[in-house]
Chains A and B, each alone.
Chain A
């Protein structure tokens, strides 16, 4: 179950004349299929996972090798080398994954590629499904490759197709930067023809190109710098840059990505189309200097609207400062403090910015303010309770329950470093097991650092199976080799649940841990409550590097399989004669299926997935199978 519905059926539609309403992820997937790509790699992460998910369903019929790699670095290397060898390839990642891929990206750009390669990065302004709001456009500057940004779904698809031919022309990968509003949004898209590739560039052994080190690397860097001339031409000529000039307009708005449509909407609502010119920049690196200079020369005041970092804005300021012709042009945006650098933009933010700068007014439509503020009050009282709840039947609930009980038994106090995944919800009611959360795979090394410090408490690292394989393993090897005192609590649910139930790289975590040298390695099913608790308790008391693995399949995965097989998972109910109404089940589990009605405990059958955890903790054995 991916996060947004897949349009796999729509994107293989044979009638090209009739448009389809598809998501940005599906549009990009279609662009990749249309371009005749054969190798697609990536690592799951919102808002990007659905691109590969959409391709996977029809990969066979288009002869595409689409894979979820172990992490982004490996994924990039596979895709880039396929492109070097002469096969069109795509690498897809979310913002944080770009940090992982940046090492091969920067190195392999020196060698360049033979067949087309497109890198798609999905940023997440507002950190709606991420831990940061980073701007991956900067990586195109660092690696000196072309970066483009679409404004809607149709453009996203067309841009992918164009990026492949451009990539082959300049022998470098092209970065397509998108955001959550494009990928997790739908609009009308016209599909194009699927290209039949004819000219295949064959790979030739060539030490001076493919052996990137020392003097060869320095030479290749010179080549990369020479290529920048072609990049600049491509940037200026890109058909996706669009200027709509109003004669004698004093104000100009420079924008990119989805913000373009916010501006367009706000200007037409205010009736300002005649007074303001609009420039949409689609080629971000290098900036289309010719286009920008011409636009600048017509206006006195420039407003810049771009999500994330002020990349275009600072570029504009440099252009203005270099050219005496542009002296006196004022630029307003993030650097002037008018727009925030964090969060995603929306039409309301854009309209208040334009109102402020242009002294225009948009009539307020909302009425009955006191009713509205009362409704908001409700939200403020309920907000803390309405989120952060694990799914019914989630094995993590059982694991955290066992961890809570075990920690209660030992008199010691621990600090808990948790990690990226569903189990981060264990930090909230009712378990409160999670004090630190940083980047993906950091928990084990963070726990190790706390262990070495003078902090005083010993540390527990909570980590999932996917995150452990992504890069937690290296941290464990490091800790074992230094004989550090940490407990790695691995919650293995056999899937990458938080990104949409992708299959992880199948290996045995206990064997890997043993091979890494950990002496204390235990595996247990968390729904075997007593044994799980005992194993954690023993591990908490012990010293040195220890690994405890709680293994049980994700409840959503079980649900999905049951749905496919047409079976029902069953449910539990409360035996009202036995129930003592102590509410231990509600208070200690926070299972959404258990609720109170008329002051009595009930189980919602439709939510219950028959995990049976509550039966294990009920002191009166009042919970029975339906």
Chain B
């Protein structure tokens, strides 16, 4: 556990649909509630399937809103396949990675890319020039959300890079908690329960109440607590 005096750095990566900016908002206010200085940088998009990144730093005093390379102590990754370059650049040697392994978001494909990737149907429907067909070859198979077989190769690398890689199936947990949209708060709960943050859980809960309408806040806190208990139970086992 780090001392309260040191600045803590957190990077959250994910798709728009994961709602990572909400976590950024909640943590910022929670850090302020705890008497820290805080700064965040948010790289955002509107389309649900596009990648977003949030840098969050808090501590006694914070200058830069962006984290320096190789200095990020905590990673929270949804859709880890799109985060590989960010992890490679920013993770500190003693950094912790909390990663969402849920399948439906991870891969359109479960099987490795085959040469059959371009199927006749595509060719017939679109009558594409050769140049584009070449582009399409891997595309139609792997596409956008990442390839499960590739994801399988990422985890050994992450384990070599960091001593603490916590895997959480956020989608499954969110489904169990009763609302599949709550992947973000389930993961935040898991992060809080893992004990790496200097921010107190009570401050996070009061931050949720401060930033959100009361109807939504109840749902968020429920998902948060669900994520926390899951991780705590796991540790007991």
Contacts and interface: CB of A to CB of B under 8 A. Distances in A.
Does B associate with A?
yes
B93 A10 contact: no
Nearest to A8: B211
Interface stretch (A191-199, A510-518, A594-602): A594-602
A423 to B, nearest CB: 11
Contacts of A184: 41-44
A258 B41 CA distance: 11
Report which residue of A20, A587, A598 has the largest number of chain B beta carbons within 10 angstroms of its beta carbon.
A587
Given A9-B212, A386-B146, A408-B125, A378 B160 contact: no
A626 interface: no
A128 B136 CA distance: 26
A453 interface: no
A111 B87 CA distance: 54
B46 A422 contact: yes
Contacts of B44: 3-4, 46, 129, 184
B22 A389 contact: no
Contact of B28 (A21, A347, A606): A21
B110 A597 contact: yes
Contacts of B85: 375-376, 379-380, 383
Interface in A567-611: 582-584, 586-588, 590, 592, 594-599, 604, 606-607
A367 B211 CA distance: 39
A318 interface: no
Interface stretch (A167-175, A225-233, A291-299, A425-433): A425-433
B161 interface: yes
Contacts of B127: 408
A375 B180 CA distance: 30
Interface stretch (B58-66, B189-197, B226-234): B58-66
A391 B48 contact: yes
Given A392-B48, A582-B121, A590 B126 contact: no
A556 interface: yes
A596 B68 contact: no
B110 to A, nearest CB: 5
Report which residue of B42, B62, B71, B146 has the largest number of chain A beta carbons within 10 angstroms of its beta carbon.
B42
A185 B40 contact: yes
A405 B125 CA distance: 7
Interface residues of A, number: 90
Given A366-B93, A372-B88, A385-B143, A128 B150 contact: no
B150 A382 contact: yes
A140 interface: no
Interface in A1-60: 1, 3-5, 7, 9-10, 13, 19-23, 46
* Interface range, B side: 35 or more
A321 interface: no
B31 A372 contact: no
A187 interface: yes
B32 A19 contact: yes
Contacts of B180: 606
A545 to B, nearest CB: 28
A5 B70 contact: no
B46 A590 contact: no
B63 A5 contact: no
A188 B37 contact: yes
Contacts of B108: 586, 592, 594-596
B32 A20 contact: yes
B3 interface: no
B39 A187 contact: yes
A373 to B, nearest CB: 7
B49 A390 contact: yes
B42 A4 contact: yes
Contact of A375 (B47, B48, B138, B161): B161
A379 B119 contact: no
Contact of B24 (A5, A13, A188): A5
B49 A584 contact: no
Interface string B148-179: 00100110011011000000000100000000
B65 A596 contact: no
Contact of B63 (A264, A381, A498): A264
A384 interface: yes
Given A429-B143, A498-B46, A10 B210 contact: yes
A258 B145 CA distance: 33
Contact of B161 (A20, A371, A388, A422): A371
Given A262-B64, A390-B47, A425-B47, A583 B121 contact: yes
Contacts of A152: 39, 65
A390 B48 CA distance: 8
Contacts of A365: 70-71, 92-93
Nearest to B161: A371
Contacts of A5: 21-22, 24-25, 211
Interface string B44-55: 111111110000
Contacts of A425: 47
B201 interface: no
A432 B132 contact: yes
A404 B126 contact: yes
A186 B147 contact: no
B139 to A, nearest CB: 5
B37 to A, nearest CB: 6
B144 A385 contact: yes
Contacts of A482: none
Interface of B: 17, 21-22, 24-25, 28-32, 37-51, 62-71, 81-82, 84-85, 87-89, 91-93, 103-104, 107-111, 119, 121-122, 125-128, 132, 135-136, 138-140, 142-147, 150, 153-154, 157-158, 160-161, 171, 180, 207, 210-213
21 contacts: A3-B45, A4-B25, A21-B38, A21-B207, A23-B42, A129-B45, A185-B40, A186-B24, A187-B38, A262-B66, A347-B68, A348-B68, A366-B92, A368-B93, A376-B88, A378-B154, A384-B139, A408-B127, A422-B46, A595-B104, A604-B104
Given A389-B145, A596-B109, 15 more contacts: A20-B29, A23-B42, A187-B62, A347-B64, A368-B160, A379-B88, A382-B82, A384-B135, A386-B144, A386-B145, A389-B143, A392-B49, A595-B108, A595-B109, A596-B110
